[in-house]
């Protein structure tokens, strides 16, 4: 599997609200992720258009190996890749 860590170029984090239950039982939850070469909402839309699933690199907040900073200065670290069912995406922000 390809390594999606982008160390030499800027990584855009997408905050994806999923309309599916979280482990805690809440009806929605948020996933923070990135896609290689995708830096805008429009590019994100083009990437998911016509697809059922999307392979993204997921990030959790906090320091860790290969951590990156968001625009607001918060640190995130990669926890690996996940397969995302685009049918449950409710909202995407950068």
Give pLDDT tens digits for 8-59: 457 889 999 999 888 888 888 899 999 988 999 999 999 999 999 999 999 9
Q: H or E element: which one contains 41? A: helix 41-48
Q: What's the whole-number mean pLDDT along residues 67-87? A: 84
pLDDT in the model for residue 59: 93
How many residues are recorded in the chain?
94
Interior angle at CA 22, CA 25 and CA 48, nearest 5: 150
The DSSP symbol for 48 reads H
pLDDT in the model for residue 42: 95
Q: What's the whole-number mean pLDDT along residues 73-83? A: 88
pLDDT in the model for residue 75: 85
How far lies 90's CA from each of 44, 75, 86, in Å? 14, 24, 9
Q: What's the whole-number mean pLDDT along residues 47-74? A: 83
């Amino acid at each position: 599997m390809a390594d999606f860590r982008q160390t030499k170029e800027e990584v855009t984090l997408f905050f994806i609200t999923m309309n599916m239950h979280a482990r805690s039982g809440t009806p929605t939850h948020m996933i923070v992720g990135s896609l290689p070469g995708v830096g805008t909402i429009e590019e994100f839309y083009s990437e998911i258009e016509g697809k059922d699933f999307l392979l993204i690199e997921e990030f959790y907040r906090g320091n860790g190996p290969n951590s990156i900073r968001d625009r607001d200065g918060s640190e995130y670290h990669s926890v690996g890749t996940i397969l995302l069912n685009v049918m449950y995406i409710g909202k995407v922000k950068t």
